[in-house]
Amino acid sequence: MDNRSETLPHDLPKELSDFLLKQLVTSKARERNEKIKKVLLLLAAGSSLALAIASPRSTRLLTFFQPDRSDWDDWKLFNRRYLQNTIRRLQREKIIETEGMGDYQTVKITEKGKTKVLQFAIESVKIDPPSKWDHKWWLVFYDIKSSKKSIRDRFQRILRSAGFYPLQESVYIHAYPCETQVEFLRSFLGINGEVRLILAERIENDEQFRKYFGV
């Protein structure tokens, strides 16, 4: 599987991690992997966490580093022992690292961790409907090489999961603004030159599309 992030706009990872974090906070899912995912998303979104170190190999206490109210509301959902074990695991996998001197160190997400966040985000892309439809259509055209079949299949799967309607082969349509999401997908998957996004003012015989999107 190709995982590419080098062409992403500088501010896109944080924007999408914030977006995905909002989804996870409101989700009822509390599975183990979902909690690990949320720890990474909190760190990627800028939420701070500090470790009080008893010895180089053990974590005696986990506390917040200058937490504000929003940080506390998020972090307090975790059992302390679970959070300790999760931090150790992510450190071993070099997904997070610590900075600082003495007994207290601040937890930071690594570049490998940021890539992991993007992998979470790419499978959770959604298009939120605006308060009022602007009567415009967003068309995604793609011509992805056969040598990238696995990437093409993944791209199609994510489009369908995000609610895009298959207009015809290699063309998908959506009723709501999706420029940021499409830019993220093609940049992360390394298919910038093979995907085009077109904004159409009108499409004839659009009744079936309007019914599908409820507009």
For 37-92, strand residue ranges (E) read: 50-55, 58-63
User: What single-letter DSSP state applies at residue 66?
Assistant: S
Which pTM does this prediction carry? Answer: 0.62
Backbone angles phi, psi at 52, to 5 degrees: -100, 115
Q: Which two tokens stand for residue 189?
A: 């998957």
Closest CA to 213 of 134, 112, 115, 109: 134
How confident is the model over 49-93, as pLDDT tens digits? Answer: 665 544 444 444 444 444 444 555 666 667 777 777 788 888 888
Question: Cβ(170)–Cβ(138) under 8 Å?
Answer: no
Beta bridge partners of 105: 51
The full set of domains in the chain, from first to last, is 12-122 (1.10.10), 137-213 (3.30.70.240)
Is pLDDT of 44 > 60? Answer: yes
How confident is the model over 115-165, as pLDDT tens digits? Answer: 777 777 777 778 888 999 999 999 999 999 989 999 999 899 999 989 999
How many angstroms separate the first and last alpha carbons of the chain? 37
Q: Which whole-number Å values give the CA distances from 207 to 96, 112, 162, 202, in the listed order?
A: 50, 45, 21, 12
